[in-house]
């Protein structure tokens, strides 16, 4: 299943820039700081994505690695409910 997801990402990215290739890492990169170190850039130069869930609705937040995600803004994106970080 992971390989299928990777191929979907690769195919999508190639439509816009054939020189780009997804970066794969042996270990999970659990923080923005760890991801930035792994690719040798400042934290603000990467993007982080966090998936939130409230009941049966989801919101994906994409932000610069050095930007704090404010819970009030996440709640506002849902309009109601109690959003939490989604789990697999």
Q: Hey, how many other C-beta atoms are within 10 angstroms of the C-beta on 75?
A: 15
Q: Burial, 80: exposed, middle or buried (Cβ in 10 Å; 0-12, 13-18, 19+)? A: exposed
Give this prediction's pTM.
0.71
Could you tell me where the DSSP H helices lie in 1-88?
A: 2-16, 32-39, 71-78
What are the structural domains of the chain? 2-85 (3.90.960.10)
pLDDT value, residue 3: 66
pLDDT value, residue 6: 86
pLDDT value, residue 19: 94
pLDDT tens string, the chain, 88 residues long: the values are 566 788 898 899 999 999 998 888 999 999 999 999 999 999 999 999 999 999 999 999 999 999 999 988 899 889 888 899 998 7
């Amino acid at each position: 299943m992971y390989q299928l997801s990777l191929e979907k990402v690769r195919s999508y990215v190639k439509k816009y820039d054939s020189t780009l290739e997804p970066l794969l890492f042996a270990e999970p990169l659990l923080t923005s700081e760890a991801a930035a170190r792994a690719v040798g850039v400042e934290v603000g130069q990467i993007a982080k994505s966090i998936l939130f869930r409230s009941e049966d609705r989801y919101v994906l937040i994409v932000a610069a690695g050095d930007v704090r995600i404010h819970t009030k803004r996440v709640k506002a994106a849902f309009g109601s409910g109690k959003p939490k970080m989604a789990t697999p």
